[in-house]
Structure 1
Amino acid sequence: MNAYSRIIKGLKEAIEHEKGGLKGVKRHVVAVKPITVYKSKEIKKIRTKLDLTQSAFANIIGVSQKAVEAWEAGKNIPQGPAQRMLELLDKEPAITEKYLIQK
């Protein structure tokens, strides 16, 4: 079987799987909660609840201190993973110690 034939076969299997017709393959659907959007006042509230400086907070989230400053000033809004991390920190402040992010 040449490369073209293998690609076509794979695409047909993918379509069949998507339709639910491929036997022997389990399909697992995962529902993901939409990302909560945190804005300046909420971000600062989370940071102060954790009793962290902007620098320490930035290190925990994995962004620059300038990014945190801009978020808290309302100049920028965090995107994607940063918003998800803010949600985790908001709902479970002890997460930083639990996973040894903060000592």
Structure 2
Amino acid sequence: MQGLDDAVKYQEGKIVARKTRIAVKPVETFSGEEIKFIRQSVGLSQVVFASSLGVSKKTVEAWERGRNKPEGPSRRLLQLIRDNPKVIEQYMLKA
């Protein structure tokens, strides 16, 4: 209710709204060599890396060989893993 009340007061000119600008980093593209480097830097096989990204081993293989390119969500995940390699560890289960 507070938010609605504030919106009405703002519309009536009774309060000044706070504004926060947020910029989102662009989603990067990756070469096959970069993808392979990211995978190897976290010490994972193609099978485990693929599983952690929710894609098939053949998909990772095709990316690394340059036959295919990852799309939006996979590219963002690659960025996250490259920039913070420990992020992938939370999805690994010790057997």
Q: TM-score range by the shorter chain?
A: 0.7 to 0.9
Aligned alpha-carbon RMSD (Å): 1.7
Aligned to 2:47: 55
Q: Whose RCO is larger (CA < 8 A, sep 6+)?
A: 2
Secondary structure in 2 matching 1:76: coil
Distance in 2, Cα, partners of 1:29 & 1:65: 40
Identity of aligned residues (%): 40
Pairwise mapping of residues 2-81 of structure 1 onto structure 2 (< 5 A)? 23=11, 29-81=21-73
Secondary structure in 2 matching 1:66: helix
Aligned to 1:101: 91
Distance in 1, Cα, partners of 2:21 & 2:71: 25
Q: Point out where structure 2 has 5 or more consecutive residues left out of the alignment.
A: 1-9
Aligned residues, how many?
A: 80
Q: Point out where structure 1 has 5 or more consecutive residues left out of the alignment.
A: 1-21
Q: TM-score, normalised by structure 1?
A: 0.69
Equivalent residue letter for 2:91: I
Q: TM-score, normalised by structure 2?
A: 0.74
